[in-house]
């Protein structure tokens, strides 16, 4: 029996994505075969394809970093994994496929009552926002925050979770995306038409408590002075290269040594590959919040699982509000 998966044949645009047929084999050892129900299309998928990553995968490789599925079969060493169980996983690669083989230890249980399409953005985008807010920044009700890049998958996750945490939110986005910000109670700033630094100085002359930046570039230098004394800037954007990581580390050290009381912290979801406990805790919290209808991911597009190239091309237009999700045919 065959199954299909998407492969990045070479660096470059979405046209480099190819459909490949593979033999469906039995899982070995503690391996589990997962039938993919939904896979979030994330910025790391695009960045890896162009090689814009500190450690880009070697081509050819299988993209797809955040999946929801069901256990289809378990190896002899994964005896406690029951076929039919709903799971999520962040394998970092390989999710654009009808089936995926994963170690039993990588699986995260998901309530079967939840829609896989809504769970998929929680696996990476929402856990990033949740950990930036509650582990790196430790926000509390009434805190004043600025979200740089507030309309995408991670940005709308910040808005959703920030609303739940009763934060006073400002968000940078292009003017045509302001509606989604106001729906979550945030004050939109059109970065194309307004100088956000001047806007924030007028709006919050005493300074912001926190800034969350997923865009990178010169936002650290421009926005850092907007923090009050004791305020924290959390940088979660992809540095783009190993040299970019080094530059960020130097910047973190330099800022945190200054006597102005402001702090700069970095965040990377890649820690989930090595330090699982906080991620397991936070995924469980997010699944519960979704189950209780306290959060609701913004899904702007659903694509057939094997039409990943079309979804990636749309994501690269930067016109997407919220999340794009690849969906198995029987879950569309």
Domains assigned to the chain: 2-121+272-331 (3.90.180.10), 141-266 (3.40.50.720)
Confidence category of residue 73, pLDDT binned at 50, 70, 90 = very high
Question: How many Å apart are CA 232 and CA 210, to the nearest integer?
Answer: 5
Specify the pLDDT at position 80: 83
Backbone phi and psi for residue 13, each to the nearest 5 degrees, phi listed first: -70, 175
Sole residue written with tokens 């970095």: 266
Residue 246 corresponds to which tokens in the numbers above? 């080094």
Q: Average pLDDT in the 147-174 region?
A: 97
10-25 pLDDT, tens digit per residue, is 999 999 999 999 999 9
Backbone phi and psi for residue 17, each to the nearest 5 degrees, phi listed first: -80, 130
Q: Average pLDDT in the 164-187 region?
A: 97
Confidence category of residue 331, pLDDT binned at 50, 70, 90 = low
Residue 290: which residues within 8 A CB-CB, separation 6 or more?
114, 118, 119, 122, 296, 297
% of the chain residues with pLDDT over 70:
98
Confidence category of residue 92, pLDDT binned at 50, 70, 90 = confident
Specify the pLDDT at position 270: 77
Residue 38 corresponds to which tokens in the numbers above? 């939904």
Specify the pLDDT at position 281: 96
Q: Average pLDDT in the 109-127 region?
A: 97
Global confidence as pTM: 0.95
Specify the pLDDT at position 332: 58
281-292 pLDDT, tens digit per residue, is 999 999 999 999
Specify the pLDDT at position 325: 98
132-146 pLDDT, tens digit per residue, is 999 999 999 999 999
Specify the pLDDT at position 273: 64
179-214 pLDDT, tens digit per residue, is 999 999 999 999 999 999 999 999 999 999 999 999
Omega before 53 within 30 of 0, i.e. cis: no
Residue 95: which residues within 8 A CB-CB, separation 6 or more?
36, 39, 40, 62, 63, 64, 65, 66, 67
Backbone phi and psi for residue 98, each to the nearest 5 degrees, phi listed first: -75, -35
Specify the pLDDT at position 272: 66
Specify the pLDDT at position 274: 72
Look at residue 85 and tell me whether its pLDDT is greater than 90: yes
Specify the pLDDT at position 269: 83
Q: Average pLDDT in the 44-64 region?
A: 94
Look at residue 294 and tell me whether its pLDDT is greater than 90: yes
268-280 pLDDT, tens digit per residue, is 887 766 778 999 9
Mean pLDDT over all residues of the chain? 95
- How much of the chain is helix, strand and coil, in % rounded to 5? 35, 25, 35
Contact 303, 88 (CB under 8 A): no
209-268 pLDDT, tens digit per residue, is 999 999 998 999 999 999 999 999 999 999 989 999 999 999 999 999 988 889 999 998
């Amino acid at each position: 029996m065959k199954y299909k998966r998407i492969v990045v044949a070479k660096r470059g645009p979405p046209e480099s994505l190819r459909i490949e047929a593979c033999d469906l084999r039995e899982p070995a050892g503690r391996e589990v075969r997962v039938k993919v129900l939904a896979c979030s299309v994330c910025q790391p998928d695009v960045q890896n394809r162009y090689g814009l990553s500190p450690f880009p995968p070697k081509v050819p490789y299988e993209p797809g970093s955040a999946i929801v599925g069901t256990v289809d079969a378990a190896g002899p060493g994964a005896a406690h994994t029951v076929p039919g169980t709903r799971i999520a996983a962040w394998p970092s690669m390989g999710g654009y496929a009808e089936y995926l083989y994963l170690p039993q230890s990588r699986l995260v249980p998901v309530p079967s009552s939840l829609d896989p399409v809504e769970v998929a953005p929680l696996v990476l985008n929402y856990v990033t926002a949740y950990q930036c807010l509650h582990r790196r920044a430790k926000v509390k009700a009434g805190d004043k925050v600025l979200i740089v890049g507030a309309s995408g998958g991670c940005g709308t996750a910040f808005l959703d979770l920030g609303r739940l945490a009763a934060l006073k939110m400002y968000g940078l986005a292009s003017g045509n995306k302001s509606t989604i910000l106001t729906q979550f109670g945030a004050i939109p700033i059109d970065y194309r038409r307004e100088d956000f630094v001047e806007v924030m100085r007028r709006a919050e002359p005493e300074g912001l408590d926190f800034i969350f930046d997923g865009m990178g570039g010169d936002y650290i230098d421009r926005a850092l002075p907007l923090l009050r004394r004791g305020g924290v800037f959390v940088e979660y954007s992809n540095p783009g290269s190993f040299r970019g990581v080094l530059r960020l580390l130097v910047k973190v050290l330099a800022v945190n040594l200054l006597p102005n009381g402001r702090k700069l912290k970095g965040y990377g979801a890649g820690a989930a590959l090595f330090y699982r406990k906080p991620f397991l805790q936070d995924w469980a919290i997010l699944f519960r919040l979704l189950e209780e209808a306290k959060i609701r991911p913004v899904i702007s597009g659903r694509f057939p699982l094997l039409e990943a190239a079309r979804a990636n091309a749309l994501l690269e237009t930067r016109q997407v509000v919220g999340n794009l999700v690849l969906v198995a045919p029987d879950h569309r």
